[in-house]
Chains A and B, each alone.
Chain A
Amino acid sequence: MALRDVSLRIEGGLTVVAGHSGGGKSSLLRVFNGLVPHFHGGRISGRAEVGGHDILETPTRILARTVGFVFQDPELQTVYATVDREVAFGLENAAVPAAEIPARVEEALEEAGIGHLAGRPTSTLSGGERQRVALASALAVKPQLVVLDEPTSQLDPDGAALVLAAARRIAAQGRSVIVSEHRLHALMGAADQLVVVEDGAVAVIDPRGWRAPQFSAPPRHREQAGGDVICAGAAAAGFDGRPLLERIDLVVRSGEVVALMGPNGGGKTTLLRLLAGLLSPMAGTVERLPGRIAYLPQNPAALLHRPTVRDEVQFTIDRSGDHGEPGAILAELSLQHVAGRYPRDLSSGERQRAAVAAVLPGTPRLVLLDEPTRGMDAGARDALVRLIVRLRDGGSAIVVATHDAELRAAVADRVLTVAGGTVAPAAVEAARG
Chain B
Amino acid sequence: MAAWTAACLFIVLFTTNPAYKALVLAAAIITLAAGAGLRRIRKLLFAVALVAAFAALLNFVSAHLGATVLFSLPATIPAIGGPFTLEALAFGLTGGVTIGAAILAAAPLSLLLSAHDVVDALPRAMSRSGAAIAASLNLVPAVGATFVQVSEAQRMRGWRPRGPRSWAEVVVPVVLTSVESSIQLAESMEARGFGSGTRTYVKPARMRGGDWLVTGAAAGAAILFGISTAAGWAAPWYAYPTLVPPQVDLRPLAACLLLCAPVLVWRARR
Contact = CB atoms under 8 A, between A and B. Distances in A.
B190 A60 contact: yes
Given A69-B191, A82-B204, A302 B196 contact: no
A302 B150 contact: yes
A92 B187 contact: no
B62 interface: no
B155 interface: yes
Given A35-B187, A305-B172, A101 B181 contact: no
Interface residues of B, number: 48
Interface stretch (B41-49, B156-164, B226-234, B252-260): B156-164
A297 B156 CA distance: 10
12 contacts: A33-B191, A61-B190, A78-B135, A80-B134, A80-B204, A93-B194, A95-B199, A96-B200, A141-B193, A302-B173, A304-B173, A320-B157
B3 to A, nearest CB: 22
Leading 7 A-B pairs by shortest Cβ distance: A319-B158, A64-B193, A81-B116, A93-B193, A77-B188, A61-B196, A295-B156
A189 to B, nearest CB: 29
Contacts of B116: 80-81
Given A78-B138, A297-B152, A359-B156, A303 B173 contact: yes
Interface in B168-205: 169, 172-173, 176-177, 180-181, 184-185, 187-204
Interface residues of A, number: 60
A294 B156 contact: yes
B12 to A, nearest CB: 31
Contact of B196 (A71, A94, A293): A94
A89 B173 contact: no
Given A39-B190, A295-B153, A301 B196 contact: no
Contacts of B176: 301, 305, 344
A93 B196 contact: yes
A93 to B, nearest CB: 4
B187 A64 contact: no
Contacts of A92: 127, 131, 199-202
Q: Binding site of B, secondary structure by majority: helix, strand, loop or mixed?
A: helix
A302 B151 CA distance: 8
B247 interface: no
A302 B143 CA distance: 11
A347 to B, nearest CB: 14
Interface in A88-120: 88-98, 101-102
A310 interface: no
A73 interface: yes
A301 B177 contact: yes
B203 to A, nearest CB: 8
A278 B142 CA distance: 19
Contact of A35 (B117, B155, B185, B191): B191
B195 A61 contact: yes
Contacts of B129: none
Interface centre among A80, A97, A137 (most CB of B within 10 A): A80
A289 interface: no
Contacts of B135: 78-79
B200 A98 contact: yes
Interface string A163-191: 00000000000000000000000000000
Contacts of A75: 138, 142
B190 A302 contact: no
B149 interface: yes
A84 B116 CA distance: 14
Contacts of B201: 92, 98
A64 B200 contact: no
A299 interface: yes
Given A97-B200, A344-B176, A81 B134 contact: yes
Given A80-B116, A101-B202, A297 B193 contact: no
Contacts of B202: 85, 88, 91-92, 98, 101-102
A154 to B, nearest CB: 13
Contacts of A427: none
B187 A305 contact: no
A20 B52 CA distance: 65
